[in-house]
Structures are given as structure tokens and as C-alpha cells.
Chain A
């Protein structure tokens, strides 16, 4: 699936998007896999309460299932308006 990062998360990880091969069942499982990769991922995902997630471009929760998902995006709380 494609994993996208925005704003501070993008800066911490150093990439706007990447292709990830995963069998993660939920967003939390995917986060655990990413955290284990490198220090910058561990730092970006240190505090999930300060992160939001969208699966296939819909806001959702970290316990959301990933079966069939094509795109997962991680970002800080939004500051529109």
C-alpha cells in the first residue's frame, strides 16, 4: 500500500510517501512495523495522541482495519480555516 506523511510527520520521516509491503491487520499494527524500522519513524510515531490517520482518504482511528486499503496517511491534528 501507499503510506503518506504530511506536515511535521513528513519532515520527521524525511519522505512525503512510500510504498510499504505489509500484512498489518490494523493501523496500529502498521505503526508498530514502521516504528521498528528506524529512529526517525520511532520519533514520528512516539505519541499517537498527537497524530491523526486517514485510510483511503477518510479520517479514521488507529484501530481501523487495513484489509483492502490502498492508501494510509499519517499527519498531525489539522489546522485549516
Chain B
């Protein structure tokens, strides 16, 4: 398991290559990348991501640990950024490796649902009209019920 919480951008291709290079006997790697998306109406200038430095990495480790216990996985990688990001930039990525694809897909899906609502990050959108916090969606909370 590798968890990185960082301000700096990451090189997705290099991270995937490094993740794959550490594997043995794994037939499937699934990756997910989250990207800063402009509003449908446009105008997003910056997304600011705040986090809880003392808690963030250990909260993600706990979520990844649950995935490792639940599915037959070889490894898990999570990289999540904080700070100021512009539209089109990568916010985060998840990679899962498993002997077979069903476990890799399910674990990546689980990790994303939990990272969304249980890792201590808060997004603020800065537009020409001002700045406002992104509200958590009821659907994101409801998504966790799939796993209980």
C-alpha cells in the first residue's frame, strides 16, 4: 500500500509504471483519475482543496486497509493533492492490482466512494463571481450503503 497526500502535481504515467513494476502474479490493474472540472456554465478559475494534515493520510490508509481485507488485492496506490488547482489538473488517482479484474474494479470503486465522503478534504470553487465551498451530495453518502 502506498498513500501520498501532496500539494505537487503527479506524473500519472510514471506512477502507474512504478505501481505495475512492483507487482507479481497480478493479472489486473485498474486506475481512476479525478480531474478538476469546470462548471457546466463555465467560469471556474481555481479549485482550492483544504485538508486535515494530521488525519488525512491515516484516514486514507484505513480505507485502503479495508479494501485490502475485503478483496483479493496485490497492492493499492492512492495519491491525493491539496492546495490550489486549475481546471484540467489532476486532483487524485487510485490504482488497484489484483489477480483478476473483478476484485480490482470493485476495490477501486469502493476506494473512490469512501475517499469522497470519509477522507478529510474540502473543495472550494473560486469563480469570477466569488468563492464557495462545494456541498457534499446526498448521493455520495448514499453510495456508501452499497458497501455495508
Contacts and interface: CB of A to CB of B under 8 A. Distances in A.
A77 B55 contact: no
Interface stretch (A23-31, A36-44, A68-76): A68-76
A72 B115 CA distance: 21
Contacts of B123: 79
Contacts of B59: 57, 59
B58 A77 contact: no
Nearest to B60: A80
A79 B141 contact: no
A71 B54 contact: yes
Chain A, interface residues (CB within 8 Å), range: 10 to 19
Chain B contact surface mostly:
mixed
Nearest to B116: A81
B52 A75 contact: yes
Contacts of A80: 80, 92, 115-121
Interface string A54-74: 100111000000000001010
A17 B136 CA distance: 23
A78 B58 contact: no
B50 A6 contact: yes
Contacts of B116: 78-81
B141 A77 contact: yes
> Which 3 pairs between the two chains have the least Cβ-Cβ distance?
A77-B136, A80-B121, A7-B122
Given A7-B124, A75-B120, 5 more contacts: A57-B58, A57-B59, A73-B52, A73-B120, A78-B118
